[in-house]
Structure 1
Amino acid sequence: MISLSPHGTPWRLTMLMLLTLPGAAVPADWQFTPTLRLRESYTDNMNLAPPGQARGEFTTEVSPGVRITGDTPRLRLALSYSLQKLAYTRQSSRTNQQLDADGHAEVVPDWLFFDARSGISQHNVSAFGPQQLDPAQATGNTGTVHTTSISPYLRHQFQGLATALLRYSYQRVGSGGLLDVRSSDTALQLIGDDDARGLNWSLNLDRMRIDDAALPPVIKSDAALTLSHPLTGGIALFGTGGYEKHDYHSTSSQPQGGYWSVGGTWTPSPRTRVAASLGRRYFGKTYTLDAAYRMRDMFWTLNYNEDITTMHGEFLSIAPTGLSDFLYQLWATRIPDPETRLRTIKVFMAISQMLGPDGNVNFFSHRYYLQKQLRMATVYSTPRSTLGVNLSSNRRTAQTSSAIDSVLLGPDQLSLTDKTRQSALQLGWSWRMSARDNLTASASHNRVRSLTTGRADNNSALVLGMSRQLQRGVNADVNLRHARHTSNAGGNYRENGVSAALMVAF
């Protein structure tokens, strides 16, 4: 039976396919590509257990799938889906799903638009303990996360006054009985037309309702006015003032009050941009930094931000695209096929889909956190090789009680996530051996600490891979992996794995 519930994959596919209706009458470059992935792998520690308890396992993976892409003046759609069947030699087989879908439609020209995103992927539940790097591993610390976002909006320019944007968003994050969160958000933004004196303004009004199965409903409202003024030399100054109110039950200060921030941007050339601000909100002082510098064969980014966040919100967030956009353009001649290029970039930039985009673990939680993030990343490329480096630090301080996470953590672990600090280093290197052969090497180290209990876990991984294009639409790769986990709470382990895969696009 085909499920049509919001948790069913067919529902998500149907939702995104409806986006094709506005552009059906427009000539389009549509591609419908069935795919098949066959993979054989072996690990000497399938359950990521300490020495003496580890067991080896062979795994056979068969993953049929489909890729759909379309691009018209009024419609863009990119969808990738696969059904992953895993057969083991010493345990029962299981099935995973992978979905990454994104669509945008212009329903009524210059007025009504529609955005939609949907995803299915596997993630580590806790940042402490065994960290799964391969979906074939069995650790008991993973969950399948379903995300859905639907957002119709009206946008229109009122000549001589402002551009108005009225957006409604519905979002849902689910992972069996671990997470079930829905939110509806209504936002109005007015952006004033350029003033003759160079004074620009924008007004933002926002109201969101969050329904978490483990919590009473939460209402978040925000109103803010921003003024900016350009100066000479690519410098602009800006200031924001507003009022916010969040009615979640905070363990510290009341989550509401007026706020402000002032800052500036410096854009001396199209290749360089720096934006920084400082301000104050109900939880204290705030700082932001967003800097990027681009050369012909190198790209740098440096980012810092502070905000109140939730873990389900992090699953819905869109990762920065600066580095991937840079590589997409840079590798246009090296990897002409767009789909192969995107897949290569994803492999290069992330050692594992199980970790977050910055190498840190977005652990499951129903709590609200004050999150402070710092990230520096760079990519350097030559005609035959590419080197990428990513450094990140993430500090989270819980704003709500730990009792609501009793479903996720044991009674003796509830205080683990009161205050956490994660740091990560990722290195990636790719060498184009020939027109059809590529060699990649990646290394990562992640350290997570509970500042409340003193527990510290370290996770390191090294992956070496070689890929070859056998013919158009047929690719093969071989990978070797070594992983290591240490903790002052015990449970240390090592794991080695090898895999060979064949990917066919029909």
Structure 2
Amino acid sequence: MSTWSTTRAPPFPAANTMVIMISVTQRGAPGGWTVLVLLMLPAMARPADWTVTPTVRLRESYTDNMNLAPPEQARGQFITEVSPGVLVSTDGPRLQLALSYTLQKVAYTRQPDRTAQQLDANGHAELLPDWLFLDARAGISERNVSAFGPQLIDPALTNSNSTTVRTQAFSPYLRHYFRGFATALLRYDYQHAGSGGLLDVRSTGETLQLTGDNGGRGWNWDLSLQRTQLDDAALAPVTMSNAALTLSYPVNSNISVFGTAGYEKQDYHSASAQPQGRFGTIGGVWTPSPHTRLSASIGHRFFGKTYSLDASYRLRSMFWTLTYNEDITTTHGEFFSVRPEGLTDFLWDLWATRIPDPQLRMQTIKVFLAISQMLGTDGNVNFFSHRYYLQKQGRLSGVYSTPRSALAVHLATTGRSGQTSNAIDSVILGPDELTLTDRTRQTSLQAGWNWRMSARGSLTLGASHSRAKSLTTGREDHNSALTLSLTRQLSSRISASADLRHVRHTSNKGGNYRENGVGATVIVAF
């Protein structure tokens, strides 16, 4: 059970600021916990500009396949949504906060009504100048449980392969620059991800990092010590520790080289190599211009050779990024991984003159990226599991813009190999499908095109195709989606949109389906 409350406190006499308390309480968490409360403390010391915008979203839609069932079982129905919400933001020198919350009330013509929530909150605060800082995140969203089977596209639809995930993260840290020696960082991390009986994982971690100060001359160094404790309700507690020393040297103004050596130990019960031992990495960074950057490395860890790549290229009207990495990961860890923000940042700067209103600009960007990325952040599913995986992931993303249009392309590939026994996933997969996720490969291609017809109206076309393959069982599922959205800003506080979609799902294990949907939405901001 989740509850949401907002409280506006009387202005502090010395600062005349607003303090907003946001709490998300989850049954099963000891006493619940308050998210982002401490982020308000810096407002007591310095004035901050706040934007608090209540909203109401009204939507009427129709789908010809409500439960994403095979053609002979498909049933159509109308869906009515009424979703009150609030947007809260501030961007001061010592406090940055962005929060979006929606309470979704959904009424169906052929099944019981339901209530859902969506929350996306991120905050950063400087509590004590140049010493004490705080980061916090919280989220509530619908997620696909498996990469195989029906895939959720519209949260108003229902199927057996989706569930609500709640995430919370809280990280206070000390950071200070000691002139002539190093910048020191001491951080504490708390994370929790839960979804009913399918997932309940908590982790705590401590990090000590020292980054040397050589005044920009010659060799530099970085020392990192990390320890993380994971508590999965389905497993015994796991401790992960890591110590690493990195040395870097600038060859010239465009090229630098680096090397890392260290030792890691993880005490989960691996089905292959013992998850501990020495590791090392060598690499380089090439920056031929302010618009181009390439970083690459090769190394060795307990599971074998590792490679990484991070490249970006930016012009006035074009931006490309290419990344590749390999690491041990979990479902819980992927929920908290930081996704590349390059495309969002690029569009924010690019559309500054075209869409001067910040809220409208961010809304346009979100609609554009959502339509071109229909099956998740990368088009690939972070499927539920209690196992540890070796993940190899590559992404290629780009945006090309003209004065009145923008084209975005995103290609992603994700391979996972299970490092622990599949028996612990019997509750999620069932006893007959335990080998399904031993080795998987997902690939996706997504594209979105936005045409700004006028100062108040835009047309967005999105297309995506993804493939999920189990390399152990041979199962292969394909998902395709084609969407069209027309958006119109009726006034400074009212916007309307109409959308169409066509979705296809095929699998060599059966369960093929098609779904068509149409909808109209009005959003009112108060």
Query: Could you say which TM-score interval applies, normalised by the shorter chain?
Result: over 0.9
The residue aligned with 1:504 is 524
Equivalent position amino acid for 2:439 in 1: K
In 2, Cα distance between equivalents of 1:354 and 1:207? 36
The residue aligned with 1:345 is 365
Specify the SS of the correspondent of 2:105.
strand
The residue aligned with 2:150 is 130
The residue aligned with 1:198 is 218
Q: Is 1:91 the equivalent of 2:111? A: yes
Shift of 1:248: 0.5
The residue aligned with 2:260 is 240
The residue aligned with 1:79 is 99
Q: Is 1:66 the equivalent of 2:57? A: no
The 5 A counterparts of 1:113-262 are: 113-194=133-214, 197-262=217-282
Range 33-42 or range 315-324, more displaced: 315-324
In 2, Cα distance between equivalents of 1:12 and 1:468? 41
Shift of 1:283: 0.2
Equivalent position amino acid for 1:7 in 2: Q
Range 87-96 or range 194-203, more displaced: 194-203
Q: Is 1:356 the equivalent of 2:373? A: no
Shift of 1:196: 6.8
Shift of 1:13: 9.2
Cα distance 1:34–1:196, how it changes in 2: closer, same or farther (>3 A)? closer
| Aligned pair partner of 2:508 in 481, 488, 495 | 488
Shift of 1:350: 3.0
| Aligned pair partner of 2:26 in 7, 11, 19 | 7
Q: Please tell me whether the aligned partners of residues 6 and 12 of structure 1 are also in contact (alpha carbons under 8 angstroms).
A: yes
Shift of 1:2: 7.9
Shift of 1:351: 3.0
Cα distance 1:36–1:12, how it changes in 2: closer, same or farther (>3 A)? farther
Cα distance 1:196–1:53, how it changes in 2: closer, same or farther (>3 A)? closer
In 1, Cα distance between equivalents of 2:28 and 2:367? 24
In 2, Cα distance between equivalents of 1:83 and 1:185? 32
The residue aligned with 1:458 is 478
Q: Is 1:439 the equivalent of 2:459? A: yes
The 5 A counterparts of 1:468-483 are: 468-483=488-503
Cα distance 1:139–1:446, how it changes in 2: closer, same or farther (>3 A)? same
Q: Please tell me whether the aligned partners of residues 225 and 243 of structure 2 are also in contact (alpha carbons under 8 angstroms).
A: yes
Q: Please tell me whether the aligned partners of residues 371 and 460 of structure 2 are also in contact (alpha carbons under 8 angstroms).
A: no
Give TM-score, length-normalised by structure 1. Answer: 0.97
Q: Please tell me whether the aligned partners of residues 372 and 446 of structure 2 are also in contact (alpha carbons under 8 angstroms).
A: no
Specify the SS of the correspondent of 2:441.
strand
Q: Is 1:387 the equivalent of 2:407? A: yes
In 2, Cα distance between equivalents of 1:162 and 1:296? 36
In 2, Cα distance between equivalents of 1:53 and 1:289? 46
Shift of 1:14: 4.4
Shift of 1:197: 4.6
| Aligned pair partner of 2:348 in 328, 331, 334 | 328
In 1, Cα distance between equivalents of 2:214 and 2:513? 60
Q: Which runs of 4+ in 1 moved over 4 A?
A: 1-6, 8-14
The residue aligned with 1:408 is 428
Equivalent position amino acid for 2:288 in 1: P
Q: Please tell me whether the aligned partners of residues 123 and 354 of structure 1 are also in contact (alpha carbons under 8 angstroms).
A: no
Specify the SS of the correspondent of 2:310.
strand
Aligned residues: 506
Shift of 1:501: 0.3
In 1, Cα distance between equivalents of 2:134 and 2:206? 14
The residue aligned with 1:294 is 314
State percent identity of aligned pairs.
66
Q: CA RMSD in A?
A: 1.7
Specify the SS of the correspondent of 2:72.
coil
In 2, Cα distance between equivalents of 1:409 and 1:77? 38
In 1, Cα distance between equivalents of 2:455 and 2:420? 54
The residue aligned with 1:370 is 390
Q: Deviations over 1:429-487 (max 9, x none)?
A: 00000111100000000000000000000000000010000000110000000000000
Q: Is 1:448 the equivalent of 2:468? A: yes
Shift of 1:382: 0.4
In 2, Cα distance between equivalents of 1:44 and 1:313? 36
In 1, Cα distance between equivalents of 2:462 and 2:33? 33
Shift of 1:335: 1.6
Q: Please tell me whether the aligned partners of residues 502 and 517 of structure 2 are also in contact (alpha carbons under 8 angstroms).
A: yes
The residue aligned with 1:280 is 300
The residue aligned with 1:48 is 68
Range 490-499 or range 350-359, more displaced: 350-359
Give TM-score, length-normalised by structure 2. Answer: 0.94
Specify the SS of the correspondent of 1:304.
strand
Equivalent position amino acid for 2:110 in 1: R
Equivalent position amino acid for 2:93 in 1: P
Equivalent position amino acid for 2:362 in 1: L
Q: Please tell me whether the aligned partners of residues 413 and 444 of structure 2 are also in contact (alpha carbons under 8 angstroms).
A: yes
